[in-house]
Amino acid sequence: MKFLKSLPLYCLLLTTFSCSQQMSKATALEKKSLPILAYYVPEKDYQPEKLPLDKLTHIIFSFTKVIDGEMKFSNEDFGEKLRLLVAQKKNHPHLKVMIACGGWGADGFSDMALTEESRQKFVKSAIAFIEAYQLDGLDIDWEYPGIPAAETKNRVEDKRNFTLLMKALREQMNTLGRAQTLTFASAGWEPYYDHIEVGEVMKYADYMNIMTYDQFVGNSPYTGHHTPLGLITLDDVSAYPIIEFFQREERKAEARDFKPGPSSVEKIVDYCIAQGVRPEQMVVGGAFYGRAWKGVPPENNGLYQPNQGAHIGWCPYGRIRSEFENKNGYQRHWDPVAKAPYLYNPTDSIFISYDDPTSMKLKTEYAIQKKLGGIMFWQLGNDTKEENSLVDAIYEAARPARK
């Protein structure tokens, strides 16, 4: 997703044409069905043969890191686990196995992307990694170019350097003997796009995987939907305490090119289309985990209310299904505007935001209706092992796209 400069015009056109031709081969194969991309962190009880690989088009093994300017595993046993996952392709020849580099709090990107020499060092290591494990693609999860996050290093130059990195990766991935999918994880909120050259980056990426989750996190002063589908306006929240927060944000945003208010899938997709991103290059995200807040008053069943901090900062859907969903004093509610579920326990004053099979079905149908590039989620290991799982909901909803 990044880089291009100071080439004669005819070389630039030739390079861009070559990149787009290679991308189209990879994408054409994927377009036979709605792409379903699963990020996956190996579970403690790692049994790749039991994963629902028949219901995925891509699985993105997570994570490698930028270590000494190169792409490497920081966890020594991940290499063998990745080989075991790739071996499953003999039973699932349709499946593309990719590798993700980065993740929340992963540092090293700004330094790695800073110069032509440092970029080429990383690209060389990434290509060698792809070849060593016989992978089908790479996902760059730089959180975030040009933005301070989790104390990672950032520079103003990251904006241009991100483009140059993606360009260099695309060019070298095109030299491999099989089609390669190049993606990156993008944010689900508008200000992120001030810090990347999205039009340039999308010349080299097959997809951007939009992280349409974590819109509210543990230190958020008010409760809200952390992974909603539907467009939520300020009018929709005007009657609740959270409006004070968004009114402050509205004053800050007067000189910015975005609308304050709750983020959502529909909102960011509309925004990205307005920035010139083609719908077929956008993959929207679901959350296979929830977030819970404590000390939440009962008004509106806890939604858009103040809280006293995180109760559970991160909770896998499998646990939500087994312990909380209409159990142990928790009641499930549905917000027709956000098109999202939530749980509230009036006795313990706890609010939980999450995705369930109904919301994942709607997100998948939305991706089909908008002719988006696909749907992805973080992360497969958090799903329930019971019937009517989140993956089942996505797979069933995608059936019309497979006919």
Residue 31 confidence (pLDDT) above 70: no
Sign of the CA dihedral with 8 first, then 9, 15, and 18 last: negative
Read off the pLDDT of residues 35-57 as tens digits, 9 standing for 90 and up: 999 999 999 999 999 999 999 99
Query: Is residue 176 within 8 Å of 16, Cβ to Cβ?
Result: no
What are the helix (H) ranges across 41-141? 78-87, 109-112, 116-133
Residue 14 confidence (pLDDT) above 80: no
- Higher pLDDT: 10 or 383? It is 383
The per-residue b/e assignment along 155-164, b for 16 or more CB within 10 angstroms, e otherwise, is eeebbbbbbb
Read off the pLDDT of residues 352-382 as tens digits, 9 standing for 90 and up: 999 999 999 999 999 999 999 999 999 999 9
Tell me the pTM. 0.91
DSSP string, 320-389: IIIIITT-TT-EEEEETTTTEEEEEETTTTEEEE---HHHHHHHHHHHHHTT-SEEEEE-GGGS-SSSS-
Query: Is residue 315 within 8 Å of 291, Cβ to Cβ?
Result: yes
Rg (CA), the chain: 21
For residue 246, say if its preceding peptide bond is cis, omega within 30 degrees of 0: no
Of the candidates 337, 327, 264, the residue with the CA atom closest to the CA atom of residue 300: 337
Of the candidates 166, 176, 249, 178, the residue with the CA atom closest to the CA atom of residue 202: 166
Residue 250 confidence (pLDDT) above 90: no
Integer CA distances (angstroms), 198 to 184, 207, 293, in order = 11, 12, 34
Q: Which residue reads 């994408």 in tokens?
A: 27
Which amino acid is located at 310 in the chain? A
Longest Cα pair distance anywhere in the chain, in angstroms? 69
The per-residue b/e assignment along 113-145, b for 16 or more CB within 10 angstroms, e otherwise, is bbeeeebebbbebbbebbeebebbbbbbbbbbb
**CATH number for region 9-225+257-287+356-402:** 3.20.20.80
DSSP H or E segment with residue 199: helix 198-201
Read off the pLDDT of residues 295-309 as tens digits, 9 standing for 90 and up: 999 999 999 999 999
Range in 69-83, 203-217, 358-372, 387-401 the model is least confident about: 387-401
Q: Which residue reads 């349709």 in tokens?
A: 94
Token pair in block for residue 231 = 């467009």
- Higher pLDDT: 29 or 271? It is 271
Q: How far apart are CA 243 and CA 220, in angstroms?
A: 13
Q: How far apart are CA 220 and CA 202, in angstroms?
A: 32
Interstrand relation of 137-141 and 96-102 (parallel, antiparallel or unpaired): parallel
Residue 66 DSSP symbol? E
Q: How far apart are CA 9 and CA 112, in angstroms?
A: 28
Residue 30 confidence (pLDDT) above 90: no
Q: What is the pLDDT of residue 18?
A: 42
Interstrand relation of 331-335 and 310-316 (parallel, antiparallel or unpaired): unpaired
Token pair in block for residue 330 = 């928790």
Query: Is residue 307 within 8 Å of 244, Cβ to Cβ?
Result: no
Residue 82 confidence (pLDDT) above 80: yes
Quickly state the pLDDT bin for 253 (edges 50, 70, 90).
Answer: low
Helices (H) and strands (E) in the chain, counts: 13, 14
- Per-residue pLDDT, averaged over 90-97, amounts to 98
Q: How far apart are CA 135 and CA 124, in angstroms?
A: 15
Classify residue 344 by burial, with Cβ atoms within 10 Å: 0-12, 13-18, 19+.
buried
Token pair in block for residue 113 = 């992307």
Interstrand relation of 137-141 and 310-316 (parallel, antiparallel or unpaired): unpaired
Quickly state the pLDDT bin for 260 (edges 50, 70, 90).
Answer: confident
- Per-residue pLDDT, averaged over 24-38, amounts to 64
The domain spans of the chain are 9-225+257-287+356-402
